[in-house]
């Protein structure tokens, strides 16, 4: 976290940018490991509070072949804990399938062997780094761009722990 | 081939000298994460790049880094010009002064002379671009460290500009790496070095 | 535009040139982006005009444009960029 004078002059421009530092909130593109243990992560993803273990028998079923069903977990539904914890319900990528554990409190650990099911980069080749492509948008005028050090607002991130203006 | 324009990429007008701050900022001239190294690194790597777009990025960013070492040197110069012996003696700047007076010499804040050992040009596009991504982050963090030491707006302004450029360069090298990846088979990026093994 | 003094003109040239610097490296990785190309061309035209005014009034900006010095080499007359305005 940064220290220093967090005053109005140093507020990052724009609504989506200015995510300074490594841990200033949000997932920053990190994968949700589907762990219901980490309530903060689920909340940051905009999910409801985690599903209490005993709702599994109250949730209605949506799909016949849901793997959650086989593992005695609640199936995909509005408040289903599978959805809340971002567990897949499909056959192919279902991580629930890979476990022999059926106790609901172990549902949290099910996806640790297959984190790619929650990875935004799933499908990209391994053993490589990927920087996303920048689009041509949010481009400043000459005067503002020069002052800011770039004409591209999307790339404009200030150092908030500086002690000068 | 290089041409020179008689202007700075960003203005530097510093009213107050500060030799100790100059000794910290000089590290972005000749230090391990500085602009001289960045420039030499990129201008050296471009010859063996397999994709012309990437060679373009290296040439253009390498050239911009020359403009940046000029900015850093100008800042150091304006922080130390017209100093008197009384202002120098007993300060950390005195040991630099005794060898260089108030001349500008490429060294790190520690006093280590600039060295090509701080850069690499591997002849392997994937390795070179990863080196460059790291280099831009190192340059950025060094400017962060300098900004914690600066109170004077006249110094803050160009340093913030220089720091911002590192982020943009990072993005461009990231895109360059994507371009190199596209030219290779993702089933095995490491089957061969496209800059060396010609008939694979 | 109204007459600018040397420093103002230098700043205008720097703003336009910097925009071209940022666009140049963007275009290196997005060579077919028509919007970036259009903005670059617009900046290049503006820059050419500003440089011409600078060269006429304050001496050569580049050494390749140093073509009016039949009697005197103006390149060494003007302040160097590191001198600053202070």
Q: Which of B68, B167, B177, B180 to mutate to test the interface with A (most CBs of A within 10 A)?
A: B167
Average pLDDT, stretch A108-134?
Answer: 86
More confident call, A21 vs B81: B81
Which chain B residues are Cβ-neighbours of C21 within 8 angstroms? 9, 64
Average pLDDT, stretch B12-35?
Answer: 97
Please state, in angstroms and as integers, the Cα–Cα distance from residue C34 to each residue in A136, B87, B108, C29, C37, following that order.
10, 56, 43, 13, 5
* Contact assignment for B5 to C31 by CB distance below 8 Å: no
**Gap from C15 CA to chain A (nearest CA, Å):** 5
Average pLDDT, stretch A108-133?
Answer: 86
Q: Quick one: what percent of chain C has pLDDT higher than 90?
A: 72
DSSP chain C: -----HHHHHHHHHHHHHHHHHHHHHHHH-TT-HHHHHHHHHHHHHHHHHHHHHHHHH--SBSTT----SSS-GGGTSPPGGG---
Size of interface A-C (CB pairs under 8 A): 28
Model confidence over B126-171: pLDDT tens digits? 999 999 999 999 999 999 999 999 999 999 999 999 999 999 999 9
pLDDT band at residue B176 under the 50/70/90 scheme: very high
**Gap from B176 CA to chain C (nearest CA, Å):** 7
Give the residue ranges of chain C where pLDDT is below 70: 1-3, 66-69, 86
pLDDT at A38 over 60: no
Size of interface B-C (CB pairs under 8 A): 76
Number of H helices, E strands in chain A: 4, 0
Burial track B28-63 (b if 16+ CB lie within 10 A, e otherwise): bbbbbbbbbbbbbbbbbbbebbebebbbbbbbbbbb
* Contact assignment for B172 to C26 by CB distance below 8 Å: yes
Model confidence over A40-97: pLDDT tens digits? 333 333 333 333 333 343 443 333 444 444 445 444 433 333 444 455 444 344 444 4
Burial track B10-22 (b if 16+ CB lie within 10 A, e otherwise): bbbebeebbbebb
pLDDT at B42 over 60: yes
* Contact assignment for B74 to C31 by CB distance below 8 Å: no
- Give every CB contact of residue C63 below 8 A, 6+ residues apart in sequence: B3, B4, C75
Q: How far apart are CA C54 and CA C66, in angstroms?
A: 12
The DSSP output letter for A161 is T
* Contact assignment for B175 to C61 by CB distance below 8 Å: no
pLDDT at B41 over 80: yes
Tell me which H or E stretch contains A148: helix A142-148
Residues A102, A71 contacting (CB under 8 angstroms): yes
Q: Quick one: what percent of chain A has pLDDT higher than 70?
A: 33
The nearest alpha carbon in chain A to B148 belongs to A162
> Which value does ipTM take for this structure?
0.95
Among A78, A75, A104, which Cα is nearest to A89's?
A: A75
pLDDT at B120 over 50: yes
Please state, in angstroms and as integers, the Cα–Cα distance from residue B34 to each residue in B5, B20, B66, B150, C2, following that order.
22, 18, 11, 18, 40
From the CB of residue A144, how many other CB atoms can be counted at a distance below 10 Å? 15
Q: How far apart are CA B111 and CA A159, in angstroms?
A: 27
Q: What integer best gives the mean pLDDT of chain A?
A: 57
pLDDT band at residue A165 under the 50/70/90 scheme: confident
**Gap from C84 CA to chain A (nearest CA, Å):** 18
The structure tokens listed for B64 are: 């911009």
* Contact assignment for B6 to C62 by CB distance below 8 Å: yes
Q: What integer best gives the mean pLDDT of chain B?
A: 97
CB hemisphere CA count around B72 (13 angstroms): 32
Which chain B residues are Cβ-neighbours of A152 within 8 angstroms? 168
């Amino acid at each position: 976290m940064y220290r220093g004078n967090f005053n109005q002059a140093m507020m990052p421009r724009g609504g989506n940018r200015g995510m300074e530092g490594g841990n200033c909130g949000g997932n920053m593109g990190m994968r949700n490991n589907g762990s219901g243990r980490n309530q903060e992560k689920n909340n940051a993803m905009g999910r409801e509070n985690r599903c209490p273990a005993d709702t599994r028998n109250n949730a209605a079923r949506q799909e016949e072949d849901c793997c959650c069903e086989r593992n005695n977990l609640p199936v995909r539904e509005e408040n289903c804990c599978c959805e809340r914890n971002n567990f897949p319900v499909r056959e192919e990528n279902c991580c629930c399938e890979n476990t022999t554990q059926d106790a609901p409190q172990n549902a949290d650990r099910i996806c640790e062997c297959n984190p790619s099911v929650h990875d935004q980069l799933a499908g990209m080749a391994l053993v490589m780094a990927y920087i996303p492509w920048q689009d041509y948008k949010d481009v400043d005028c000459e005067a503002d761009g020069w002052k800011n050090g770039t004409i591209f607002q999307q790339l404009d991130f200030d150092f908030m722990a500086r002690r000068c203006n | 081939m290089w041409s020179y324009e008689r202007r700075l990429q960003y203005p530097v007008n510093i009213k107050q000298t500060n030799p100790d701050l100059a000794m910290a900022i000089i590290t972005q001239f000749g230090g391990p994460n500085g602009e001289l190294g960045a420039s030499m690194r990129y201008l050296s790597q471009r010859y063996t790049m397999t994709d012309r777009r990437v060679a373009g990025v290296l040439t253009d960013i390498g050239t911009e880094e020359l403009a940046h070492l000029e900015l850093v040197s100008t800042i150091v110069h304006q922080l130390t010009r017209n100093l008197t012996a009384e202002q120098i003696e007993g300060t950390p700047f005195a040991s630099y002064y005794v060898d260089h007076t108030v001349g500008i010499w490429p060294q790190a804040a520690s006093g280590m002379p600039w060295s090509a050992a701080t850069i690499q040009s591997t002849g392997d596009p994937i390795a070179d671009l990863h080196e460059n991504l790291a280099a831009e982050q190192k340059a950025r963090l060094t400017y962060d460290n300098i900004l914690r030491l600066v109170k004077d707006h006249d110094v803050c302004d160009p340093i913030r500009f220089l720091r911002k450029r590192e982020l943009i360069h990072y993005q461009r090298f990231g895109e360059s790496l994507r371009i190199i990846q596209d030219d290779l088979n993702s089933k095995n990026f490491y089957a061969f070095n496209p800059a060396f093994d010609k008939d694979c | 535009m109204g007459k600018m003094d040397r420093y103002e003109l230098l700043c205008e040239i720097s703003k336009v040139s910097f925009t071209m610097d940022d666009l140049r490296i963007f275009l290196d990785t997005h060579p077919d982006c028509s919007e970036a190309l259009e903005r670059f061309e617009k900046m290049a035209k503006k820059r050419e005009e500003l440089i011409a005014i600078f060269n006429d009034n304050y001496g050569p900006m580049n050494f390749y444009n140093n073509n009016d010095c039949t009697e005197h080499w103006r390149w060494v007359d003007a302040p160097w960029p590191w001198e600053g305005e202070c």
